[in-house]
Structure 1
Amino acid sequence: MTRAPALHNLHGLTMGTTWSVRVVVPQSIPLDALQYGIQDQLDRVDEQMSTYKPASALSCFNAASTGWYELRAEFFEVVSHAIWLASDSGGAYDPTVGPLVNLWGFGPGQRARERPSADAIAEAHGRIGWWKIKLDPTTRQAFQPGGIQLDLSSVAKGYSVDQVGRWLDRMGATAWLVEVGGELKGYGIKPDGMPWRIGIERPDAAAGAVERVDQLECTLALSGRAIATSGDYRHHYEDGGQVYSHHIDPRDGRPVPHAVASVSVLARDALQADPLGTTMTILGPEQGLAYAEARGLAVLFILRGEHGLYERMSAAFAAALRA
């Protein structure tokens, strides 16, 4: 008699954060093979796109002199999507924003977290520009104009979620929920016949310690789609009475000033959802929702108002909550 598939819970470390996977697979597949395979998929992404590892493909590209360089397939796919989104968003998203992120004290360096001078901001702003990178899909090459610093932190984790999901599909998994650093994607139905359900954390909940339903903004089914949440409530600092978020607007070189506490984005793939969270935060609720509605994107803004937190969402996100 064929044994029913088993539900397994696995977890580990990657990209300076944690990962977890709930997966339903045939019982003939050993747990250690699952653990190793998942970690291998994550390591492949990290060794190519890490900003912290000097030998990563991204670090090597950033250190390269002017010229064309062939990229591995995964690296090229992510860079291509990042450049496309930068163009589509009018530069609100920019994968070359690294010098500004570092300048404001949120990068891999050890710079003090304090407001930089106007001259320093202008100098760093002159060293970014997504349009300076050219791509040739026929040869899978990217042009480094010299001095450009790619930073794929806002998209690599999402891409790794998709990669793990695809690997689990190849292994014969019938359902899975993959999470890397808070980016999630779900597929299939659990053994109890229910879809994967996830909760969106309220920005005022204790960091990483949601224990009650009232600490969740809402819950929704996550089957065949991904969700990414971007917020300023974990990564910010105060200097001279002013609070600075880690979300730097590439268009003016400064942290976003508007009252966005968090943004959640639903999409088919985490590669899409992950950087869109950053994009929406930079655009803010007015421009962001206009962008989302024009493209049918499912977006939830949680905003800070005079009387506390409140929501604004796109029509597509409202429809997802009703599903």
Structure 2
Amino acid sequence: MGTTWSIQFVAQDAPAGLQGRVQALLDVFVAELSHWQDGSLLSRFNRAREGSWHDVPSRFFHVVAAGLELARETGGAFDPTIGALVDLWGFGPRPAAALPPPETAIDAARQNGGWQRLEADPLAGRLRQPGGLQLDLSGIAKGLAVDEVAALLEGFRLRSFLVEIGGELLGRGLRADGLPWWVDIEAPPASALLPTRIALHGLAVATSGDYRRYFEQGEQRFAHTLDPRTGRPVDNKIVSVTVLHESCMIADALATAITVLGPEEGLALAERKGVAALVTAKAGPIHVEMLSKAAAAMAE
């Protein structure tokens, strides 16, 4: 997945074999869901022949189904089938042929993608490749990995821990000093805002931002979060979105969806879902923070 993982936990002794079990779980995770590994199950599905059905593991089907559900709810603002667009803009495993891509290439990638084209058979646990469709689960899979590592730790009878994978976190129980797992959500660079400190007590947190991966052409900046509805990087004044939820997978996906939808529609989605969301957006030369009702209640 191109990132790192870490775990902190409270126990008198480290459970035997814990690190190996976590790494083995994540290795299987990558083998199934990585957009960056040519031999992964996801990459093989992306290359599969038109019209072919594929039996997939329960984890694979679960995360795709969750992505499709959010795609329906957001009108395609979140879309797990944007792999071709991600590659086209140079945010995938290989450099882009041209940046920004030509309009014809963007149109072609959009036509090959689209969540409506992906057929899922929940009874059989299988997916149909309609031809040319490329899955990319980067906006949701990392959160699921956090959830699965947390479940593994609970299987080792650990009750107080903090899991982190690539900046997505989930905390359970309390630290050894009796305090919650405090984490700081960094303020965007060049802003006058202060970091936001939150307590992860039975909660996960995921952040989507436009200041980590981007490229510039002249005076124009292109961030890595793409709007599947236009085929282009988002340009709606949002700088970062942080979402808290019991499930890191859901927090991860919602952070992406809110980023694409923009401040007003994104916060409306957070209100409908009843989740705590912190949106940072540009307002002329300054940055402003906006909270969903659930986030404002947590801040009081």
| TM range, smaller chain | over 0.9
Equivalent residue, structure 1, for 2:34 = 50
- State which of 127, 139, 149 in structure 2 corresponds to 1:142: 127
Equivalent residue, structure 2, for 1:160 = 145
Distance 1:72 1:258, change over 3 A: same
2-structure distance, mates of 1:28, 1:86: 41
2-structure distance, mates of 1:55, 1:307: 46
1:248-259 map, 5 Å = 248-259=226-237
After superposition, give the CA deviation of every residue in 1:271-305 in whole Å (9 maximum; x if it has no partner).
10111111011000011011111221211111122
1-structure distance, mates of 2:90, 2:217: 12
Equivalent residue, structure 2, for 1:318 = 296
After superposition, give the CA deviation of every residue in 1:226-267 in whole Å (9 maximum; x if it has no partner).
100000001111113211111111111111111111000011
2-structure distance, mates of 1:171, 1:280: 35
2-structure distance, mates of 1:278, 1:229: 8
Give secondary structure in 2 for the equivalent of 1:25: coil
> Is this contact kept in 2: 1:178–1:186, CA < 8 A?
yes
Equivalent residue, structure 2, for 1:234 = 212
Could you tell me which runs of 5 or more consecutive residues in structure 2 were left unpaired when the two chains were aligned.
Answer: none
Equivalent position amino acid for 1:316 in 2 = A
1-structure distance, mates of 2:28, 2:275: 29
CA offset at residue 22 of structure 1? 0.3
Give secondary structure in 1 for the equivalent of 2:84: helix
Give secondary structure in 2 for the equivalent of 1:154: coil
1:255-294 map, 5 Å = 255-294=233-272
Equivalent position amino acid for 2:116 in 1 = W
**Identical residues among aligned pairs (%):** 44
Equivalent position amino acid for 1:152 in 2 = L
Distance 1:19 1:257, change over 3 A: same
Equivalent residue, structure 1, for 2:68 = 83
Give secondary structure in 2 for the equivalent of 1:44: helix
Could you tell me which runs of 5 or more consecutive residues in structure 1 were left unpaired when the two chains were aligned.
Answer: 1-14, 207-213
Equivalent position amino acid for 2:201 in 1 = S
2-structure distance, mates of 1:138, 1:194: 45
1-structure distance, mates of 2:12, 2:193: 36
Equivalent position amino acid for 1:17 in 2 = T
> Is this contact kept in 2: 1:199–1:216, CA < 8 A?
no
> Is this contact kept in 1: 2:169–2:204, CA < 8 A?
yes
Alignment length, in residue pairs? 299
Tell me which moved more, 195-204 or 107-116.
107-116
Q: RMSD of the TM alignment (CA)?
A: 1.6
CA offset at residue 215 of structure 1? 7.5
1:22-101 map, 5 Å = 22-27=8-13, 29-30=15-16, 33-65=17-49, 66-101=51-86
> Is this contact kept in 2: 1:26–1:172, CA < 8 A?
no
CA offset at residue 25 of structure 1? 3.1
After superposition, give the CA deviation of every residue in 1:71-90 in whole Å (9 maximum; x if it has no partner).
01111111111111111111
- State which of 77, 87, 93 in structure 2 corresponds to 1:102: 87
Q: Which runs of 4+ in 1 moved over 4 A?
A: none
Equivalent residue, structure 1, for 2:156 = 171
2-structure distance, mates of 1:37, 1:216: 38
> Is this contact kept in 2: 1:113–1:237, CA < 8 A?
no
2-structure distance, mates of 1:232, 1:199: 18
2-structure distance, mates of 1:94, 1:64: 20
Equivalent residue, structure 2, for 1:211 = none
**Structure 2 length as normaliser, TM-score?**
0.95
> Is this contact kept in 1: 2:112–2:131, CA < 8 A?
no
